[in-house]
Structure 1
């Protein structure tokens, strides 16, 4: 992903108002984001734990999506359960995966329609597949699938998710 500015962030959201985008809290380490190692920028709102955001490049444009967590991670599922992220297919125990929903854009969103996916609760898919971050299960990123295929899988799943929000 290319490096982006705060202005880029606040102007690219497709499923929230300009006022909501203006008020959202950026990640505390935004300026130090490892841009070349990211397939998308994703973060949980540090001041509103039930909110999250992701920004990706789609059709050579930045597209931002505001997300809501369906329930607090770890509450709906026990620590011994294992869940899989819909984007990167990283396995997590306990609250490592959360159901996140996004209001659809346009009239569908105004009618209350949403799209949901089970995602890494910290939205660090890019770091997990590159072995730059580990789950509680340990170093599970080496499953024999080449990195290029893992990255392509994230991008394909992310693109389908964004398309389901914007169409």
Structure 2
């Protein structure tokens, strides 16, 4: 598995991860693998009922009990509830599912509590380069085009925090 070194030892990873729009077999398969490798709980926020897809994996009860599904009648209700859960600390990580990246970014930027609590928002991509001895991280090629000196400091602080975690 690529990036295995980033999550070892993974059994110490805990917390609650919100996944927006995890409504297909491929996405659920990734989440199941993560659940088997870690101690996190998954919170699925969707406008489609995902329980049948989840049931098709025949999961043991200890894994199944760590999947929490929430089905909403509209995108607005979904994002409102997720925003409240983030603000209250029920959710510690936000993961993009089957939605446009621009929609996720709009959601994050519209959530004043998120920016107030977590500060500067930046982008990070990890690359596995076959002839390079470790993971290569590239930051802010799209979100922060012309950062100020203070913003550059915040970007570096965020990257250091991410790298250590």
Superposition TM-score tier, normalisation by shorter sequence:
under 0.3
Which has more helix, going by share of residues? 2
Which has more strand, going by share of residues? 1
Q: TM-score of the superposition, structure 2-length normalised?
A: 0.25
Which protein is bigger by CA-based radius of gyration?
2
